[in-house]
Amino acid sequence: MRQKRILTIQDYSCLGRCSTTVALPTISCAGIECVALPTALLSNHTDYPSWTFFDLTDQIKPIAEKWKEFDHHFDAIYTGYLSTKQVGEVIALCKDYKEKDTLLFVDPAMADWGKLYAGFGPEHVLEMRKLVALADLTKPNLTEACLLTGTPYPNEGKAPFSFYEEVAKKVHGLGAKVVILSGLSSKEGKLGCLVYDGKEFSFFEGDREPGSYHGTGDLFSSALISAIVLGKTLLRSIEIAHRYIVTSIHETLAHHQGGKIYGPMFEYALPEFISLLREE
Ligand code: PXL
Protein backbone atom coordinates (compact mmCIF):
# COMPACT_ATOMS: atom_id res chain seq x y z
CA MET A 1 0.00 0.00 0.00
CA ARG A 2 1.20 3.53 -0.79
CA GLN A 3 2.39 5.31 2.34
CA LYS A 4 0.02 8.09 3.41
CA ARG A 5 1.21 11.66 3.81
CA ILE A 6 -0.18 14.44 6.01
CA LEU A 7 0.79 18.10 5.80
CA THR A 8 0.46 19.82 9.17
CA ILE A 9 0.54 23.60 9.42
CA GLN A 10 1.04 25.05 12.89
CA ASP A 11 3.70 26.65 15.09
CA TYR A 12 6.83 25.05 16.51
CA SER A 13 6.94 25.70 20.25
CA CYS A 14 10.18 24.38 21.73
CA LEU A 15 9.24 23.94 25.37
CA GLY A 16 5.87 22.54 26.43
CA ARG A 17 4.54 19.72 24.31
CA CYS A 18 2.04 21.00 21.75
CA SER A 19 1.39 21.66 18.05
CA THR A 20 4.23 20.44 15.78
CA THR A 21 6.23 18.71 18.53
CA VAL A 22 3.15 16.56 19.20
CA ALA A 23 1.93 16.15 15.62
CA LEU A 24 5.23 14.95 14.16
CA PRO A 25 5.87 12.00 16.51
CA THR A 26 2.20 10.99 16.64
CA ILE A 27 1.67 11.00 12.87
CA SER A 28 5.04 9.33 12.23
CA CYS A 29 4.27 6.55 14.72
CA ALA A 30 1.05 5.94 12.79
CA GLY A 31 3.29 5.04 9.84
CA ILE A 32 2.28 8.18 7.99
CA GLU A 33 4.77 10.63 6.52
CA CYS A 34 4.36 13.95 8.30
CA VAL A 35 5.28 17.07 6.33
CA ALA A 36 5.44 19.85 8.93
CA LEU A 37 5.18 23.48 7.85
CA PRO A 38 6.08 25.57 10.91
CA THR A 39 4.35 28.95 10.93
CA ALA A 40 6.29 30.45 13.84
CA LEU A 41 9.09 29.55 16.22
CA LEU A 42 8.32 30.08 19.90
CA SER A 43 10.52 29.49 22.93
CA ASN A 44 7.48 27.81 24.56
CA HIS A 45 3.71 27.88 24.17
CA THR A 46 1.64 30.84 25.33
CA ASP A 47 0.22 29.20 28.44
CA TYR A 48 3.56 30.00 30.11
CA PRO A 49 3.78 33.49 31.63
CA SER A 50 5.94 34.77 28.71
CA TRP A 51 7.53 33.58 25.46
CA THR A 52 9.58 34.59 22.40
CA PHE A 53 7.87 34.53 18.98
CA PHE A 54 9.63 34.49 15.60
CA ASP A 55 7.06 34.84 12.87
CA LEU A 56 7.36 32.71 9.72
CA THR A 57 4.23 33.98 7.93
CA ASP A 58 6.22 35.28 4.96
CA GLN A 59 7.58 31.76 4.37
CA ILE A 60 4.20 30.12 3.83
CA LYS A 61 3.59 31.36 0.29
CA PRO A 62 7.09 30.77 -1.14
CA ILE A 63 7.16 27.27 0.36
CA ALA A 64 3.75 26.46 -1.14
CA GLU A 65 4.88 27.88 -4.52
CA LYS A 66 8.08 25.84 -4.46
CA TRP A 67 6.14 22.62 -3.81
CA LYS A 68 4.18 23.21 -7.02
CA GLU A 69 7.40 22.42 -8.93
CA PHE A 70 7.51 18.92 -7.47
CA ASP A 71 5.15 16.01 -7.81
CA HIS A 72 3.50 15.35 -4.44
CA HIS A 73 0.19 14.44 -2.87
CA PHE A 74 -1.16 15.11 0.60
CA ASP A 75 -3.83 12.71 1.86
CA ALA A 76 -4.78 15.33 4.42
CA ILE A 77 -3.89 18.82 5.53
CA TYR A 78 -4.15 19.32 9.28
CA THR A 79 -4.13 22.94 10.45
CA GLY A 80 -3.69 23.88 14.11
CA TYR A 81 -2.63 26.96 16.07
CA LEU A 82 -2.07 29.90 13.71
CA SER A 83 -1.55 33.59 14.33
CA THR A 84 -4.28 35.90 13.03
CA LYS A 85 -2.42 37.18 9.98
CA GLN A 86 -1.44 33.63 8.96
CA VAL A 87 -4.96 32.33 8.50
CA GLY A 88 -5.40 34.04 5.10
CA GLU A 89 -2.10 32.58 3.81
CA VAL A 90 -3.13 29.13 5.01
CA ILE A 91 -6.52 29.46 3.32
CA ALA A 92 -4.78 30.28 0.01
CA LEU A 93 -2.55 27.21 0.39
CA CYS A 94 -5.48 24.92 1.27
CA LYS A 95 -7.49 26.12 -1.73
CA ASP A 96 -4.70 24.90 -4.02
CA TYR A 97 -5.34 21.36 -2.75
CA LYS A 98 -9.14 21.52 -2.83
CA GLU A 99 -9.49 19.56 -6.08
CA LYS A 100 -6.72 17.11 -5.25
CA ASP A 101 -8.44 14.57 -3.06
CA THR A 102 -6.83 16.08 0.03
CA LEU A 103 -8.92 16.02 3.20
CA LEU A 104 -8.83 19.36 5.01
CA PHE A 105 -8.92 18.95 8.78
CA VAL A 106 -9.13 22.21 10.73
CA ASP A 107 -8.49 22.33 14.47
CA PRO A 108 -9.28 25.97 15.33
CA ALA A 109 -6.80 25.72 18.27
CA MET A 110 -7.56 29.21 19.54
CA ALA A 111 -9.44 28.96 22.85
CA ASP A 112 -10.39 26.83 25.82
CA TRP A 113 -12.27 27.08 29.12
CA GLY A 114 -14.46 29.88 27.82
CA LYS A 115 -11.71 32.19 26.60
CA LEU A 116 -9.34 32.88 23.71
CA TYR A 117 -5.65 31.99 24.11
CA ALA A 118 -3.32 34.83 25.11
CA GLY A 119 -2.59 37.20 22.24
CA PHE A 120 -5.78 36.54 20.25
CA GLY A 121 -8.59 39.07 19.81
CA PRO A 122 -12.02 38.98 18.14
CA GLU A 123 -10.49 39.41 14.64
CA HIS A 124 -8.82 36.01 15.08
CA VAL A 125 -12.23 34.39 15.42
CA LEU A 126 -13.41 36.09 12.21
CA GLU A 127 -10.38 34.81 10.30
CA MET A 128 -10.68 31.28 11.70
CA ARG A 129 -14.34 31.19 10.71
CA LYS A 130 -13.23 31.49 7.04
CA LEU A 131 -10.86 28.53 7.37
CA VAL A 132 -13.46 26.41 9.18
CA ALA A 133 -15.86 27.15 6.30
CA LEU A 134 -13.55 25.24 3.93
CA ALA A 135 -13.01 22.24 6.19
CA ASP A 136 -14.00 18.69 5.34
CA LEU A 137 -13.65 18.00 9.03
CA THR A 138 -13.29 20.40 11.93
CA LYS A 139 -12.76 19.69 15.61
CA PRO A 140 -13.58 22.69 17.78
CA ASN A 141 -13.88 22.34 21.52
CA LEU A 142 -17.01 23.88 23.03
CA THR A 143 -15.32 27.26 23.65
CA GLU A 144 -14.12 27.47 20.05
CA ALA A 145 -17.47 26.38 18.66
CA CYS A 146 -19.26 29.04 20.75
CA LEU A 147 -16.84 31.75 19.64
CA LEU A 148 -17.04 30.72 15.98
CA THR A 149 -20.83 30.85 16.02
CA GLY A 150 -21.32 33.86 18.32
CA THR A 151 -22.99 31.68 20.96
CA PRO A 152 -22.55 32.59 24.65
CA TYR A 153 -20.37 30.01 26.42
CA PRO A 154 -22.39 28.15 29.05
CA ASN A 155 -21.35 28.12 32.68
CA GLU A 156 -18.18 25.92 32.91
CA GLY A 157 -19.24 24.34 29.61
CA LYS A 158 -22.17 22.56 31.26
CA ALA A 159 -25.34 22.62 29.18
CA PRO A 160 -28.17 20.34 28.12
CA PHE A 161 -27.43 18.01 25.25
CA SER A 162 -29.73 19.98 22.94
CA PHE A 163 -27.41 22.99 23.37
CA TYR A 164 -24.43 20.97 22.09
CA GLU A 165 -26.50 19.83 19.10
CA GLU A 166 -27.46 23.42 18.28
CA VAL A 167 -23.85 24.60 18.45
CA ALA A 168 -22.61 21.69 16.30
CA LYS A 169 -25.30 22.52 13.73
CA LYS A 170 -24.26 26.15 13.70
CA VAL A 171 -20.60 25.22 13.06
CA HIS A 172 -21.79 23.00 10.22
CA GLY A 173 -23.76 25.98 8.96
CA LEU A 174 -20.49 27.91 8.58
CA GLY A 175 -19.56 25.47 5.81
CA ALA A 176 -17.60 22.65 7.47
CA LYS A 177 -18.79 19.26 6.17
CA VAL A 178 -18.32 17.27 9.36
CA VAL A 179 -18.10 18.77 12.84
CA ILE A 180 -16.59 17.02 15.85
CA LEU A 181 -17.51 19.04 18.90
CA SER A 182 -15.07 17.94 21.59
CA GLY A 183 -14.65 18.28 25.34
CA LEU A 184 -18.32 17.92 26.28
CA SER A 185 -19.16 17.10 29.87
CA SER A 186 -22.66 15.72 30.01
CA LYS A 187 -21.99 13.75 33.23
CA GLU A 188 -19.47 13.87 36.06
CA GLY A 189 -16.35 11.81 35.24
CA LYS A 190 -17.15 11.55 31.53
CA LEU A 191 -15.93 13.42 28.48
CA GLY A 192 -17.70 13.34 25.16
CA CYS A 193 -17.54 14.27 21.49
CA LEU A 194 -20.57 15.03 19.36
CA VAL A 195 -20.29 14.42 15.62
CA TYR A 196 -22.57 16.12 13.12
CA ASP A 197 -22.35 15.52 9.38
CA GLY A 198 -25.30 17.63 8.26
CA LYS A 199 -27.67 14.66 8.48
CA GLU A 200 -27.28 12.93 11.78
CA PHE A 201 -25.60 13.17 15.13
CA SER A 202 -23.44 10.55 16.76
CA PHE A 203 -21.95 10.71 20.21
CA PHE A 204 -18.87 9.22 21.80
CA GLU A 205 -18.29 9.30 25.53
CA GLY A 206 -15.24 8.16 27.46
CA ASP A 207 -13.77 8.59 30.94
CA ARG A 208 -12.59 12.03 31.99
CA GLU A 209 -9.17 11.91 33.63
CA PRO A 210 -8.51 14.14 36.64
CA GLY A 211 -6.71 17.44 36.10
CA SER A 212 -6.20 19.48 32.98
CA TYR A 213 -3.18 19.31 30.73
CA HIS A 214 -1.91 21.64 28.08
CA GLY A 215 -1.71 20.23 24.55
CA THR A 216 -4.27 17.45 24.88
CA GLY A 217 -6.29 19.03 22.04
CA ASP A 218 -3.25 18.80 19.76
CA LEU A 219 -2.62 15.19 20.82
CA PHE A 220 -6.24 14.33 20.11
CA SER A 221 -6.20 15.99 16.68
CA SER A 222 -2.92 14.35 15.65
CA ALA A 223 -4.15 10.89 16.63
CA LEU A 224 -7.58 11.46 15.11
CA ILE A 225 -6.37 12.58 11.68
CA SER A 226 -3.83 9.73 11.62
CA ALA A 227 -6.54 7.12 12.27
CA ILE A 228 -8.86 8.68 9.69
CA VAL A 229 -6.17 8.78 7.00
CA LEU A 230 -5.45 5.10 7.73
CA GLY A 231 -9.09 4.32 6.92
CA LYS A 232 -10.62 3.86 10.38
CA THR A 233 -14.22 4.99 10.77
CA LEU A 234 -14.73 8.38 12.37
CA LEU A 235 -16.09 6.94 15.62
CA ARG A 236 -13.28 4.39 15.90
CA SER A 237 -10.78 7.21 15.22
CA ILE A 238 -12.30 9.25 18.04
CA GLU A 239 -12.10 6.22 20.36
CA ILE A 240 -8.43 5.65 19.50
CA ALA A 241 -7.59 9.35 19.98
CA HIS A 242 -9.38 9.37 23.33
CA ARG A 243 -7.52 6.24 24.48
CA TYR A 244 -4.20 7.86 23.47
CA ILE A 245 -4.90 10.82 25.75
CA VAL A 246 -6.15 8.71 28.66
CA THR A 247 -3.00 6.56 28.56
CA SER A 248 -0.78 9.65 28.22
CA ILE A 249 -2.36 11.13 31.36
CA HIS A 250 -2.06 7.83 33.26
CA GLU A 251 1.65 7.76 32.40
CA THR A 252 2.04 11.36 33.52
CA LEU A 253 0.41 10.61 36.87
CA ALA A 254 2.43 7.42 37.32
CA HIS A 255 5.73 9.19 36.67
CA HIS A 256 4.92 12.38 38.60
CA GLN A 257 6.38 14.35 35.71
CA GLY A 258 5.07 16.43 32.83
CA GLY A 259 1.91 18.04 34.07
CA LYS A 260 -0.43 20.86 33.34
CA ILE A 261 1.81 23.26 31.49
CA TYR A 262 4.41 20.84 30.16
CA GLY A 263 1.81 18.52 28.65
CA PRO A 264 1.08 14.83 29.19
CA MET A 265 3.76 12.19 28.61
CA PHE A 266 2.36 10.92 25.34
CA GLU A 267 5.69 9.27 24.43
CA TYR A 268 4.84 6.33 26.71
CA ALA A 269 1.39 5.98 25.12
CA LEU A 270 2.77 5.57 21.60
CA PRO A 271 3.19 1.75 21.67
CA GLU A 272 -0.49 1.26 22.57
CA PHE A 273 -1.52 3.85 19.93
CA ILE A 274 0.45 1.98 17.27
CA SER A 275 -1.11 -1.37 18.20
CA LEU A 276 -4.65 0.07 18.17
CA LEU A 277 -4.03 1.41 14.68
CA ARG A 278 -2.84 -1.99 13.50
CA GLU A 279 -6.01 -3.75 14.64
CA GLU A 280 -8.55 -4.40 11.88
O1 PXL B 1 -2.05 23.72 22.17
C2 PXL B 1 -2.41 24.82 21.42
C3 PXL B 1 -1.29 25.79 21.27
C4 PXL B 1 -0.39 25.63 20.24
N5 PXL B 1 0.64 26.48 20.06
C6 PXL B 1 0.84 27.52 20.90
C7 PXL B 1 -0.02 27.73 21.96
C8 PXL B 1 -1.12 26.86 22.16
C9 PXL B 1 -2.05 27.07 23.25
O10 PXL B 1 -1.90 27.92 24.09
O11 PXL B 1 0.21 28.74 22.80
C12 PXL B 1 1.97 28.46 20.66
Q: What percent of the chain has pLDDT over 90?
A: 86
Using CA atoms, how far apart are residues 257 and 271, in angstroms rounded to an integer?
19
User: What dihedral angle (degrees, nearest 10) is formed by the CA atoms of 274, 210, 165, 180?
Assistant: -20
Using CA atoms, how far apart are residues 133 and 240, in angstroms rounded to an integer?
26
Evaluate if residue 258 carries a pLDDT over 90.
no
Q: Which atom of ligand 1 is nearest the CA belonging to 46?
A: 11
Q: β-pairing, 115-116 with 111-112?
A: antiparallel
Instruction: Output the CA 166–ligand 1 centroid distance in Å.
Output: 27
pTM here?
0.97
Domains of the chain, CATH where assigned: 5-275 (3.40.1190.20)
Confidence of residue 260 (pLDDT cuts 50, 70, 90): confident
Instruction: Output the CA 1–ligand 1 centroid distance in Å.
Output: 34
Mutational pocket test of ligand 1: of 9, 11, 115, the residue with most ligand atoms within 8 Å of the beta carbon? 11
Evaluate if residue 190 carries a pLDDT over 80.
yes
Name the closest-CA residue to atom 1, ligand 1.
215
pLDDT digits (tens, 9 = 90+) for 28-82: 999 999 999 999 999 999 999 999 999 999 999 999 999 999 999 999 999 999 9
